[in-house]
């Protein structure tokens, strides 16, 4: 049985997550991901990570958070909803993923983690830990599942029964012993809508995604020319793709957020109506200064839009 001190610390950590503005918080023990190790190794050997060579790096750290934070005891996983009220930028002839409508989520989550850590330190004392937001060798979906925040759906995204899957995921790895939350049941059942809807057949089997065929990979991670085999399969997506989430029955429960840092600006809406030749580097740099879309740079986004001209 956990000590009162551990339970008290756990309540403080979860209260810190709530005060920082996170929607969900779950905790799991920091340990080696024994079941994930052979799956990750097999996925990499099949080259399903495409040109994302960085996924081969730090294999041991990716599987063991104790190699990222000395004396790590707990992985605190959080979810932050980004479901937009207006999803029109994902519905026209040229589409962008909902997660990229507003401010880059890396900045937003890291700011919230600073608030969270400050609260934990104030109420517990000196704590050693690090926050991670999709920028280090951390298997965020696995930890979110272990922390009971949801289950990994057949499209490989985290799903919640009451809010769907439009969430950002982050982790706070701490040297604190905390009460853990067990994983929840998989509620995908016999549904295969995400598999059936993927235009590039990237979901090769339930829970298995060939990243090198995913439209998000093709429009963001791939730095070379998009292979011509995909020219009739992009369905208008210029940055990212939401198809597997759009068709998921659980997203009928997704709760739209009020206008905030993840909402699209009027300038962004106008940008995707501009002729390609009018999009200058200066315009791009100003508009996407704090946006996830800046990852593609102007050259990458222009490549995507040019490729779509053959498709839309």
Q: Max alpha carbon distance in the chain (Å)? A: 66
Cα end-to-end span (Å), the chain? 60
Q: Which helix (H) or strand (E) holds 208?
A: strand 208-209
Q: Up-side HSE of residue 230: CA atoms within 13 Å toward CB? A: 24
Distance (Å, whole) CA 205 – CA 140: 21
What angle separates helix 4-20 from helix 105-124, to the nearest 10 degrees?
A: 140
With the C-alpha atoms ordered 195, 100, 144, 213, is the resulting torsion angle positive or negative? Answer: positive
More confident residue, 4 or 128: 128
Q: Averaged over 186-207, what is the pLDDT?
A: 96
Three-state DSSP class for residue 112: helix
Beta bridge partners of 203: 209
Q: Which helix (H) or strand (E) holds 31?
A: none
Neighbours of 45 (CB within 10 A): 9
Alpha helices in the chain (DSSP H): 4-20, 36-45, 59-63, 105-124, 140-146, 193-197, 215-216, 243-246, 266-271, 281-287, 297-308
Distance (Å, whole) CA 264 – CA 254: 18
Q: Up-side HSE of residue 284: CA atoms within 13 Å toward CB? A: 17
Tracing tokens 């080259």 back to the chain, one arrives at 47
The single residue of 134, 175, 186, 311 carrying the catalytic annotation is 134
Q: Is pLDDT above 80 for 170?
A: yes
Pairing of strands 151-152, 208-209: unpaired
pLDDT digits (tens, 9 = 90+) for 5-35: 999 999 999 999 999 999 999 999 999 888 8
Is residue 70 annotated as a catalytic residue, yes or no?
no
DSSP string, 151-198: EE-TTSSEEBTTTBT-EEEEEEEES-------------TT--HHHHH-
In contact, 133 and 170? CB cutoff 8 Å = yes
pLDDT digits (tens, 9 = 90+) for 61-92: 788 999 999 999 999 999 999 999 989 999 98
pTM of the model: 0.91
User: Which segment of 132-136, 257-261, 292-296 scores lowest on mean pLDDT?
Assistant: 257-261
Give the pLDDT of residue 277: 67
Give the pLDDT of residue 280: 85
Here the tokens at position 109 are: 């989550």
């Amino acid at each position: 049985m956990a000590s009162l001190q551990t339970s008290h610390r756990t309540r403080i950590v979860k209260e810190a997550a709530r005060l920082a503005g996170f929607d969900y918080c779950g905790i799991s023990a920091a340990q080696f991901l024994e079941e994930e190790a052979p799956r990750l190794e097999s996925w990499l050997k099949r080259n399903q990570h495409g040109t994302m060579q960085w996924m081969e790096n730090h294999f041991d750290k990716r599987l063991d958070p104790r190699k990222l934070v000395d004396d790590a005891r707990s992985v605190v996983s959080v979810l932050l909803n980004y479901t937009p009220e207006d999803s029109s930028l994902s519905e026209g002839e040229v589409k962008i993923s909902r997660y990229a409508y507003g401010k880059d989520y890396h900045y937003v989550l890291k700011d919230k983690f600073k608030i969270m850590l400050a609260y934990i330190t104030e109420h517990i004392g000196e704590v050693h830990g690090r926050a991670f937001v999709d920028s280090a060798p951390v298997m965020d979906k696995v930890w979110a599942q272990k922390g009971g925040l949801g289950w990994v759906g057949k499209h490989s995204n985290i799903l919640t029964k009451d809010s769907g899957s439009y969430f950002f995921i982050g982790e706070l790895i701490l040297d604190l012993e905390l009460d853990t939350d067990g994983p929840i049941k998989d509620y995908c059942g016999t549904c295969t809508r995400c598999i059936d809807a993927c235009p590039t057949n990237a979901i090769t089997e339930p829970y298995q995604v060939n990243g090198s065929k995913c439209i998000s990979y093709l429009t963001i991670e791939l730095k070379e020319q998009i292979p011509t085999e995909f020219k009739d399969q992009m369905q208008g997506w210029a940055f990212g793709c939401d198809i597997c989430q759009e068709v998921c029955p659980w997203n009928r429960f997704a709760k739209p957020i009020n206008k905030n840092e993840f909402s699209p600006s009027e300038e962004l809406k106008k940008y995707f109506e501009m002729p390609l030749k009018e999009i200058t580097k200066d315009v791009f740099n100003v508009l996407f200064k704090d946006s996830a879309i800046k990852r593609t740079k102007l050259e990458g986004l222009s490549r995507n839009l040019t490729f779509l001209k053959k498709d839309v």
